[in-house]
């Protein structure tokens, strides 16, 4: 491809709305342009990269035996009603009507649609196991699209769904996908951290996310040297063996006029947040519950929901709090009698001489000791693990990293096959319900994540596997004759099956080098004055410094060797 005929609008300056590195570089290198919030156009260079990623995904999915489909983007409301998600998906799902008033969803995911086709086709245990997949656009009315292509309203997802006869089969399908995912991300040049995850609104049990460590990640990961790794929303932690060995103080009432929040309390009592028993009233399936956690810990609502076995959980409105505690919001606590069930976080037990609300306006208790001043009848892990917490497996302190989720695999169970009534006959002619797994990769997000992991101050440094071109040929000719000589190289490389972007523009050398570095094609070939005088062509890797000089007849071979080496390193 000749640069002069291409559309790769590189920029020196970044549009002011791009903040994170990958987003800035993708715009600067001319890969994408914003259409509007959360919607992006892929320009030719960007689309090439996207396609390379999709090719890798496709190869590995096919290798794992998955079957590729192409599903409609518009899915009828009936399907969603059948699974029950028409009501539960909420405003995140785009809904549209046709001229007859028929309702559809712009698919945010395809469990229903895939389950629906598959159930029409399978009828016997002989048809299973089967894993189907597609790469297609998903639509989500995100609360806040962000970070360019990392969180957008419209994105390409590879979504796969497995159908098995039993748990054992599901485990095998799940593991096959797990392996495929590892391979895919590895081939894309991405270092991923698989972590235990929550299953979210999709429903199901076992689940793992593939995370790319990054400052712009939206997830917090807890990592332990023993190999335990989990998403913060799921991560467990172990309570330290012995609590602080302070001498128990007398329980006493303290007047605390207008002191409510943990920050205000910490200032008032002049002590750190971990001394407080934060008591929050929730409505679990409509019924009030008090959750008590140390003041410096965050309640993890997912954990709490699970601990309470509730399907709906929300913070109680003020009037409920007032009713339950007989005091304004800010003075709740477990010491004085209270009529609602109380659940304690596991770390509450270790608090000595704590401080908590007295269920009375402007009064707190100090010198509060669990066991003596209140009984812990029900405790569970209901706060988020954090840096330094002890690993649930080995007890060592864990560390925290931010990550971008690029893939997610989970065992769905029977949620869709049951609600949508999918059955096959077993050997004995008896109807059985298959069990499902589901596996997603955010393709655009993967592209952004690759940039996040491969750049320097000059621009992107694409891994060869996903680079838009193999070679960036910089021509530095001045006369028509010199241009013709460079063009010979271009033709020669193309004839050798090498994908080359040839910078044939009339511009200064520095300008062309800067663009080459920005775009980040792994191999740069320069034909300039040493070529015109002595026939020396220069090869430089984007990731390296040294320049190899070479004659024209061995150029193609050398480049192929370089490419093969890069491949072998992986």
Partner RNA sequence: CGGGAUGUAGCGCAGUCCGGUUAGCGCGCUGCGUUCGGGACGCAGAAGUCGGGAGUUCGAAUCUCCCCAUCCCGACCA
Interface residues toward RNA, by CB under 7 A: 10-17, 19-20, 34, 36-38, 92, 109, 140, 142-147, 150-152, 155, 157, 200-202, 209, 218-219, 301, 405-408, 440-442, 444-445, 458, 476, 478, 506, 508-511, 513-518, 526-531, 538, 540, 547
Which one, 530 or 543, has the nearer CB to RNA?
A: 530
Q: Closest separation between CB of residue 303 and RNA, Å? A: 12
- How far apart are CB 416 and RNA at their closest, in Å? 14
Minimum Å gap between C-beta 159 and RNA is: 8
| Ramachandran quadrant class, 451 (left: phi over 0; alpha: psi -120 to 50; beta: rest) | alpha
Cα 486 to Cα 474: distance, rounded to the nearest angstrom: 9
Q: In sequence order, what are the beta bridge partners of 146?
A: 151
Alpha helices in 3-84 (DSSP H): 21-28, 44-63, 77-83
User: 313-319 long-range CB contacts below 8 Å, 24 or more apart?
Assistant: 313/282, 313/283, 313/284, 313/285, 314/282, 314/283, 315/280, 315/281, 315/282, 315/283, 316/281, 316/282, 316/283, 316/288
Query: Is 249 or 456 the residue whose CB approaches RNA more closely?
Result: 456
Q: Measured from the CB of residue 45, what is the shortest distance to RNA in angstroms? A: 14
Tokens coding 502 = 């040839």
In terms of CB distance, is 442 or 463 closer to RNA?
Answer: 442
Least Å from the CB of residue 517 to RNA: 4
Which is closer to RNA, CB of 424 or CB of 525?
525
CA–CA separation, 132 and 69 (whole Å): 7
> 362 or 538, CB closer to RNA?
538
Q: Is residue 170 packed enough to be buried (19+ CB in 10 Å), middle (13-18) or exposed (0-12)?
A: buried
CA nearest neighbour of 147 among 423, 432, 404, 421: 404
User: Per-residue DSSP letters for 103-156?
Assistant: EEEE-S--HHHHHHHHHHH--BGGG-SEEEEEEEEEE---SS-BTGGGB-SEEE
CB of 46 to RNA, least distance (A): 15
Q: Which of 218, 58, 196, 41 is nearest to 135 (CA)?
A: 58
Calpha distance 53→55 (Å, rounded):
5
CB of 114 to RNA, least distance (A): 14
Q: Which is nearer to RNA, 42 or 365 (CB)?
A: 42
Nearer to RNA, 158 or 275 (CB): 158
CB of 400 to RNA, least distance (A): 14
- The full length of the chain comes to 570
Q: Which is nearer to RNA, 440 or 522 (CB)?
A: 440
By beta-carbon proximity to RNA, the closer residue of 429 and 510 is: 510
Question: CB 29 → RNA: shortest distance, Å?
Answer: 9
* Shortest Cβ 427–RNA spacing (Å): 35
CB of 551 to RNA, least distance (A): 14
- The nearer residue to RNA, 44 or 509, going by C-beta atoms, is 509
| Dihedral Cα 148, 152, 153, 155, nearest 10 deg | 120
**Beta strand 363-368 pairing with 130-139:** unpaired
Least Cβ distance, residue 147 to RNA (angstroms): 5
Contact 324, 283 (CB under 8 A): no
Q: Are 148 and 32 in contact (CB under 8 A)?
A: yes
Judge contact between 540 and 550, C-beta under 8 A.
no
Closest C-alpha to 502, from 525, 534, 536? 525
Pick 281 or 516: Cβ nearer RNA:
516
Cβ proximity to RNA, 393 vs 551, nearer residue:
551
Dihedral sign for Cα 418, 181, 23, 5, please.
negative
């Amino acid at each position: 491809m000749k640069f002069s005929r291409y559309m790769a609008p590189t920029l020196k300056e970044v549009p002011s709305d791009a903040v994170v590195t990958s987003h800035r570089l993708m715009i600067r290198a001319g890969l994408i342009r914003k259409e509007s919030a959360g919607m992006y156009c892929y320009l030719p260079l960007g689309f090439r990269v996207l396609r390379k990623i999709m090719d890798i995904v496709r190869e590995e999915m096919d290798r794992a035996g998955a079957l590729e489909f192409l599903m409609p983007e518009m899915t009828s409301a009936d399907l969603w009603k059948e699974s029950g998600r028409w009501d539960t998906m909420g405003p995140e799902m785009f809904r549209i009507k046709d001229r007859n008033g028929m309702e559809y969803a712009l698919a945010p995911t395809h469990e229903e649609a895939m389950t629906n086709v598959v159930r029409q086709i399978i009828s016997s245990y002989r048809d299973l196991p089967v894993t189907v997949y597609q790469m297609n656009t998903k639509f989500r009315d995100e609360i806040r699209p962000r970070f360019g292509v990392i969180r957008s309203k419209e994105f390409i997802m590879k979504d796969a769904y497995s159908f098995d006869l039993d748990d054992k089969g599901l485990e095998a399908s799940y593991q096959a996908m797990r392996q495929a995912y590892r391979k895919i991300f590895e081939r894309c040049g991405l270092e991923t951290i698989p972590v235990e995850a929550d299953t979210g609104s999709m429903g199901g049990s076992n689940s793992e996310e593939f995370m790319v460590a990054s400052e712009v990640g939206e997830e917090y990961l807890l990592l332990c040297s023993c190999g335990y790794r989990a998403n913060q929303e799921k991560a467990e932690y172990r309570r330290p063996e012995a609590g602080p060995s302070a001498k128990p103080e007398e329980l006493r009432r303290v007047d605390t006029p207008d002191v409510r929040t943990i920050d205000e309390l910490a200032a008032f009592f002049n002590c750190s947040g971990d001394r407080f028993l934060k008591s929050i009233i929730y409505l679990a399936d409509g019924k009030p519950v008090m959750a008590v956690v140390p003041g410096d810990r965050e309640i993890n609502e997912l954990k709490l929901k699970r601990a309470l076995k509730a399907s709906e959980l929300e913070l109680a409105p003020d009037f409920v709090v007032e009713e339950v505690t007989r005091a304004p919001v800010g003075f709740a606590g477990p010491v004085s009698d209270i009529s609602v069930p109380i659940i304690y976080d596991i770390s509450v037990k270790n608090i000595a001489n704590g401080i908590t609300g007295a269920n009375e306006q402007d009064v707190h208790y100090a010198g509060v000791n669990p066991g003596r001043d209140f009984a812990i009848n029900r405790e569970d892990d209901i706060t988020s693990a954090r840096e330094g917490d002890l690993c649930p497996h080995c007890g060592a302190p864990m560390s925290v990293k931010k990550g971008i989720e690029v893939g997610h695999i989970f065992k769905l169970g029977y949620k869709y096959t049951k609600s949508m009534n999918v059955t096959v006959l077993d050997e004995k002619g008896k109807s059985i319900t298959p069990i499902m797994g589901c596996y997603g990769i955010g393709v655009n997000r993967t592209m952004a994540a690759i940039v996040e992991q491969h750049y320097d101050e000059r621009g992107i440094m694409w891994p060869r596997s996903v680079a838009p071109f193999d070679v960036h040929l910089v021509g530095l000719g001045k006369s028509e004759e010199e241009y013709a000589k460079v063009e010979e190289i271009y033709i020669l490389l193309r004839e050798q099956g090498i994908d080359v972007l040839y910078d044939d523009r009339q511009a200064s050398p520095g300008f062309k080098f800067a663009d080459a570095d920005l775009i980040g094609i792994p191999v740069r070939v320069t034909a300039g004055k040493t070529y015109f005088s002595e026939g020396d062509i220069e090869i430089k890797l984007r990731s390296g410094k040294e320049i190899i000089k070479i004659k024209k007849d061995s150029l193609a071979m050398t480049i192929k060797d370089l490419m093969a080496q890069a491949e072998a390193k992986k």
